[in-house]
Amino acid sequence: MENPLLHPFAFIYQLIQWVLSNLFSPDPPKPGAKLGRPKIAIIGAGLTGVSAASHCVGHGFDVQIFEAGPRKQLGGIWSRVNNTSGLQIHSIMYRFHPSVTWSGGYPNRQQIVSQITELWKRYGLESKTIFDTPVEKVYKDEKGRWIINDTSNGRFDGIIAAVGTCGDAKMPHMPGMEKFKGEIYHSSDLTGKEAKGKNMIIIGGGASAVEALEFAAHEEAKKTYILARSDKWIIPRNPVVDILLSFNIFGGETPFSWIPETILRKFFYRDLQDLAPTDKGLFTGTPMVNSDVMDKIREGKAEWLRGDIKGFTEEGVKFNLRSKGVPAGGPGREKIIKGDIVVMATGFDRPTLNFLPEDSFVDPYSPPNWYLQTFPPQHVSVCANNCTYVNAIGSVGNWHIGIYTRILLMFLSDPLTRPQTFWMERWIDMTRFVKRFAPTGAFDFFTYLELIWWFMFCIAINPFRWKWAFFVFFGIGHALPKSVVNAEDRIRNGLGVKIGSNYDVGKSF
């Protein structure tokens, strides 16, 4: 703990984390403890997979984690980015498990991987993780249990797909790249590179551009040019502002979105309002969270240029500089942006979910248009946690991992809580109707309040789920609803009412 007199805010933050950990962290299983069924296969050993597995074993459910990469890739995308990379949102919005304890507001890559690894060890997941094992297919045996690749890996009652949204780095080829006399790197491959006193060109204007900008600042690059095809919303690195923006129950643009947009233009962009988008709303895409870019532009250390890449030259990049409002590919003024290093901030390929059964992708109920955005209507025993969303503010990678994991545990533990395919599809249809005027798709944008609304609807609509509410939302009280389920089972068995063992089949309202 920090000294409360010297660092009062840090002390209060650490105290809050200590309280949350003691209230909501499930106890790790004791060494050698036998965990019960349902047994869950978790695909991916990144932040989401490790967090979900910790929730499962902490509540007494056995797991097996399958990771496609080697041991060094524990932590997912965070194990593969630059050492200078760190959180853009405040760490209070990134407590991906109740026991996570951050020492500061914006931890770096090493601190994040350290927390993931510590969580992995604390909950005894070392012996439950198989590395270098890509999952190519999952299917059911004759009893409705899931098989991963083949029967040698065992059988499972449920699946958590935790492959994330960032796979292999995208490194597109552009005309004339071979002519460039400088260096070209992907934004995730900058550790150990020299940039001091050099001019850096960043191609791209999203989260990967932030990563490259952090590197440029750390290495004291002379000047940085950010070449973006379109304007992108930038929000400040401020926890209060970011949390307020994430409290959008509709998860998209509304008639009131002009209010935060106007406030951002006036008090954050200020003299740089020309950089603020006018053709797209704040809640139509994931914004860039960074305050440094504004400061560096004002200091003359960075320039944000809007336009199209025409190709490379020996000295830099040929760029078609467009005026505000001119669409991509439209008329502009060509100029050569000279640089010593070009960073391709072109993002990552999205990992595939093709290993799931084919009937999980039947239109119009294919991802992200699933029940609660996460459960394919044909398979309620499958939870695609944190890998189906398109855009979001604030919520991805945070405490919703626990909520979705515990919803799956509820479905697996209690047959009467499982929704039927028909009703899952009706919920999707209803959500589409409610958000029919949103400029994005019904499930394309994701926020804190939207998650809470979905959860409350999910619980309220079925009385058999009411007893699970505190467990699902807070992770407490699992023993009570489980004992009620056992009592219900005894009554059903006494009456001769049988409910099948297929975890995809339930008796719901």
We report the CATH number of the domain holding residue 28 as 3.50.50.60
For residue 307, the surrounding DSSP H or E stretch is strand 302-312
The rounded radius of gyration (Å) of the Cα atoms in the chain is 24
Residue 472 lies in a domain: no
Q: What is residue 314's predicted lDDT score, i.e. its pLDDT?
A: 95
Per residue in 432-451, pLDDT (tens digit) is 998 888 888 888 888 888 88
Residue 337 lies in a domain: no
Q: What is residue 476's predicted lDDT score, i.e. its pLDDT?
A: 85
What is the domain count for the chain? Answer: 1
CA–CA separation, 102 and 448 (whole Å): 21
Nearest to 503 by CA among 414, 421, 423: 414
Q: What is residue 495's predicted lDDT score, i.e. its pLDDT?
A: 54
Partners of 108 in the beta sheet?
86
For residue 155, the surrounding DSSP H or E stretch is strand 155-156
Residue 71 lies in a domain: yes
Which residue matches tokens 């498990």?
97
Q: What is residue 397's predicted lDDT score, i.e. its pLDDT?
A: 63
Exposed, middle or buried by CB within 10 Å (0-12, 13-18, 19+), for 8?
exposed
Residue 256 lies in a domain: no
Cα distances (Å, whole numbers) of residue 381 to 212, 249, 360, 496: 40, 27, 12, 25
Within 8 A by CB and 6+ apart from 242, the residues are 89, 90, 93, 235, 236, 289, 393, 394
Q: What is residue 498's predicted lDDT score, i.e. its pLDDT?
A: 59
Ranges under pLDDT 50 in the chain: none
Q: What is residue 488's predicted lDDT score, i.e. its pLDDT?
A: 74
For residue 113, the surrounding DSSP H or E stretch is helix 109-122
Residue 62 lies in a domain: yes
Write down the H helix ranges in 283-370: 292-299
Q: What is residue 103's predicted lDDT score, i.e. its pLDDT?
A: 86
Residue 479 lies in a domain: no
Residue 116 lies in a domain: yes
CA–CA separation, 62 and 74 (whole Å): 20
Q: What is residue 268's predicted lDDT score, i.e. its pLDDT?
A: 95
Q: What is residue 419's predicted lDDT score, i.e. its pLDDT?
A: 93
- Give residue 386's domain range: 8-167+351-413
Are 230 and 325 in contact by the 8 Å Cβ rule? The answer is: no
Q: What is residue 444's predicted lDDT score, i.e. its pLDDT?
A: 87
Q: What is residue 1's predicted lDDT score, i.e. its pLDDT?
A: 63
Exposed, middle or buried by CB within 10 Å (0-12, 13-18, 19+), for 305?
middle
Per residue in 474-502, pLDDT (tens digit) is 998 777 787 887 777 777 666 555 565 67
Residue 383 lies in a domain: yes
